């Protein structure tokens, strides 16, 4: 899974998928809380809310034309984003706990990564995405397992594509265990 980046989503100017939409809804809740500490994020939240309203008017405003497929995609996206948020919260807690153990604070992490305090806050809160270099440095400096730093969730759209691809594989001795996105031998 690609690391979530709300600023990049806003910059794109449009929500294209249910996953984008659910991620935007989740980010809106996060920004609502962060604005208390960082009022400069209000413009970001306003832009995000505009994208949400546009997506809803295009995809959810006509109740008679909402299909079961659309509802299933929405549910899958909700579940994915809930898992993503759980991962991001756990990662933040692990990083902050390790910093505390070392007698460091969030600002020190920003210094180590060469980021400002506000930028580091946005990274930890899932507003911006960590770069691979940031996460590798955190892994090396703080001795945090890579599996606790890199998200491995697979979006619904990719799961569906992989499921279709597995049916085309010439070897029929393999099947897909979709719940874990794992190929298994028959």
Distance between CA atoms of 17 and 23, rounded to whole angstroms?
Answer: 10
Distance between CA atoms of 70 and 83, rounded to whole angstroms?
Answer: 20
Residue 53 sits in the same domain as residue 140: yes
Under-50 pLDDT residues of the chain = none
Residue 56 sits in the same domain as residue 33: yes
Which of 145, 167, 40 has the alpha carbon at shortest distance from 94? 145
Which of 60, 86, 87 has the alpha carbon at shortest distance from 73? 60
Residue 160 sits in the same domain as residue 179: yes
What is the CA 139 to chain-centroid distance, rounded? 19
Per-residue pLDDT, 99: 97
Task: Supply φ then ψ for residue 177, to 5 degrees.
Answer: -90, 90
- Within a domain: 1: no
Residue 101 sits in the same domain as residue 76: yes
Residue 173 sits in the same domain as residue 88: no
The total domain count for the chain is: 2
What is the CA 136 to chain-centroid distance, rounded? 18
Per-residue pLDDT, 175: 75
Enclosing domain of residue 144: 6-153
């Amino acid at each position: 899974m690609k690391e979530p980046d709300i600023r990049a989503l806003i910059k794109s100017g449009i929500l294209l998928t249910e996953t984008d939409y659910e991620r935007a809804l989740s980010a809106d809740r996060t920004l609502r809380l962060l604005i208390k500490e960082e009022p400069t994020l209000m413009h970001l939240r306003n832009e995000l809310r505009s994208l949400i309203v546009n997506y809803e008017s295009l995809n959810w405003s006509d109740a008679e034309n909402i299909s079961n497929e659309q509802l299933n995609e929405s549910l899958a996206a909700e579940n994915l984003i809930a898992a993503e948020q759980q991962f991001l919260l756990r990662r933040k807690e692990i990083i902050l706990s390790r910093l505390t153990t070392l007698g460091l604070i969030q600002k020190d992490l920003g210094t180590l990564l060469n980021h400002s305090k506000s930028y580091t806050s946005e990274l930890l809160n899932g507003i911006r995405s960590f770069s691979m270099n940031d996460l590798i440095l955190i892994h090396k400096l703080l001795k945090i397992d890579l599996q606790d730093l890199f998200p491995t969730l697979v979006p619904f759209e990719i799961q569906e594509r992989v499921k279709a691809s597995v049916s085309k594989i010439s070897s029929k001795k393999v099947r897909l265990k979709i719940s874990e996105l794992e190929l298994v031998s028959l």
